[in-house]
Structure 1
Amino acid sequence: MQALVMDYAHGAAVAEHCHSDDQLIYAACGVMRVSTAAGSWVIPAGHALWMPAGVEHAVRMEGSVGMRTLLLPARVEGCEVIVVSGLLHALVLAASRLLEREASASAQALIFAELATAQRISAFVPIPHHPRLRGWCEAFLDDPAQDISLQQCGARLNLSARSVARLFQREVGMTFGEWHTHARVMLSQRCLAAGQPILAVALDHGYQSASAFAAMFKRVLGLSPRHWQLNTLQQRGVVR
């Protein structure tokens, strides 16, 4: 196991790369967007992405980011986003010191025990492979408040609405509207994890009211944004 400590300014990016070991990419502060060929994961502060060995990925920072990374023996088959508990947070921050001591085996065992029981969240946004559509989707992730129709999307890409609809269904398995909603809900978790008010989160993600946002959030994730926020903050030890 190896520990890495890196701090980044807003807008900084890490070019596409991969590791021979699994990588736990932890946002101690700030928000990271981790992208692979399949799509993007939005990692709010207090969360981490467990990235399997050998997967090419790039990282972009939103706000000042304190990235703490552990390189681990391969254990996961697919990417998983976890809520980092207070104990796991302390272990990750102290990992570089702990792993140099005689107690390193105990520290590693405790880290893996925390990872095994950590709460998983859904944070993946699939991205089409079609070059123009992929570019549009990535731009939407930068500004999820924008209100755009299927026809307007097609006009911007110089494609018919029917072609755009077919591309979404074929490449991400969702309709245009389903992807639009899914992306907004996934992105909203970064603001909820920061403790922002529900109404502010709703408005920042293109909803006209907290109730409309809450209904869509619950449809996608199965619980209200308030319950999601409270559960996440409790898991991290921010509230009790």
Structure 2
Amino acid sequence: MYLDVRRDWLSHVDEVPRALVAASAVANLGALEQSPRHHHKKAQLLFTVRGVINCEVEDAVWIVPPQCAVWIPGGLLHTVFGSGEVECISLFIDPPEAPNLPTECCTVTVSNFLRQLLMRANALPDLYDIDGPDGRIVSVIFDELAVAPVEDLRLPIPGDPRLKKLTDLLIAAPADHATVAEWASRIALSERSLSRLLAKEVGMSFGRWRRQLHIVLALRQLSTGQTVQAVAMDLGYESASSFVTMFRKMVGKPPSRYLLERRRPVLHDRREG
């Protein structure tokens, strides 16, 4: 099943004369296939209620863990796929000129308040009353999106064929403890050339780029229920504590707390229901 659940909408969603169009209901999606690369004139806000969604554009993969959303600007070629069981809300947005909404692809943290607004927006009729309560809800959504915190959950994908080969090698063997020089030799580069190419292509050192890759892989595995210990071993860390230290430095908090904070709003809402 593709992430764009109601794919029949994609042919005419850009023609709906409203600033916001709900293109899919909240859906429980098991084994998600990667959607074909596509684009639309309207921007897309893809909110992850549960699971992890990945949005791939030409030069990066954006990771969208629970209670985060990815903003995909209009006209940007992209493909989306999920990790494990995913629950999501997808909205197409034609932002007005006034709100200061993102101009580039990014992941944003969704507050409890914004989450409730997105749930409400998902139930809006296509041709909602712009001047009525529904129109005011859409305006508040734009205001909240304009101030939503942006998270650094992006893995840059280099364009150089040698670096793309290195990316594939690292993904295939994330626990490999080879040195930078050894990795460089595997793609017929010197260590200095590899460092120079990475700085040019992705703006990161090899170490930081690899750690960012580990964050991507870790979030995918943790979202399926794997333990921190198991993920740490799969990624080649000597202990769970060393993995947690890396995760905290990269994300700002340990993985257990990071995931708990994103699951808590969902659990809270279900208890109330």
Normalised by the length of structure 2, the TM-score is 0.71
Contact 1:193-1:232 at 8 Å conserved across structures: no
**Does the aligned pair in 2 maintain the 1:45–1:194 contact within 8 Å?**
no
| Structure 2: 5+ residue stretches without partners | 1-19, 96-100
Amino acid of the structure 1 residue aligned with 2:72: M
Alignment equivalent of 2:103, drawn from 77, 86, 91: 77
User: In the alignment, which residue of structure 2 is the partner of 1:206?
Assistant: 236
**Residues 1-240 of structure 1 mapped to structure 2, 5 A cutoff:** 1-5=20-24, 9-10=30-31, 12-74=33-95, 75-100=101-126, 101-102=128-129, 103-138=133-168, 140-141=170-171, 144-190=174-220, 197-234=227-264, 236-238=265-267
Question: What amino acid is aligned across from residue 41 of structure 2 in structure 1?
Answer: S
Cα 1:228/1:66, change in 2 over 3 Å: closer
Deviates more, 1:56-65 or 1:91-100: 91-100
Instruction: Name the CA shift for 1:53/1:95 in 2 (closer, same or farther; >3 Å).
Output: same
Helix, strand or coil for the counterpart of 2:155?
strand
Evaluate the alpha carbon distance shift between residue 210 and residue 73 of structure 1 in structure 2; reply closer, same or farther with a 3 A threshold.
Answer: same
Question: What is the SS of the residue equivalent to 1:17?
Answer: coil
Q: Distance in 1 between matches of 2:111 and 2:173?
A: 30
Change (3 A) 1:109 1:201: farther
2:193 match: secondary structure: helix
In structure 2, distance between residues paired with 1:132 and 1:73 = 38
Displacement of 1:134 in angstroms is 1.8
Cα pair 2:218 2:231 within 8 Å, conserved: yes
Give me the whole-angstrom Cα distance separating, in 2, the residues matched to 1:46 and 1:193: 12
Q: Report deviation, 1:154.
A: 3.2
**How far apart are 1:12 and its partner, in Å?**
0.8
User: Following TM superposition, by how much is the alpha carbon of 1:40 offset from its aligned partner in structure 2, in angstroms?
Assistant: 1.2
Give, in angstroms, the shift of residue 66 of structure 1: 3.8
Corresponding letter in the other structure for 1:182 = Q
Maintained 8 Å contact 1:45/1:190 = no
Q: Tell me, yes or no, if the aligned pair for 1:195 and 1:229 is still in contact at 8 Å.
A: no
Tell me how far 1:59 sits from its aligned partner.
Answer: 1.8
Secondary structure of residue in 2 paired with 1:70: strand
In structure 2, how many angstroms separate the alpha carbons of the residues matched to 1:73 and 1:138? 36
- Tell me the percent identity: 31
Larger radius of gyration: 2
1:144–1:95 distance in 2 versus 1, CA, 3 Å: farther
Query: Given residue 184 of structure 2, which amino acid in structure 1 is its aligned partner?
Result: G
Instruction: Give the partner amino acid of 1:36.
Output: V
Residue segments in structure 1 that go unaligned for 5+ positions in a row: none
Q: Distance in 2 between matches of 1:145 and 1:52?
A: 35
Cα deviation for residue 53 of structure 1 reads 2.2
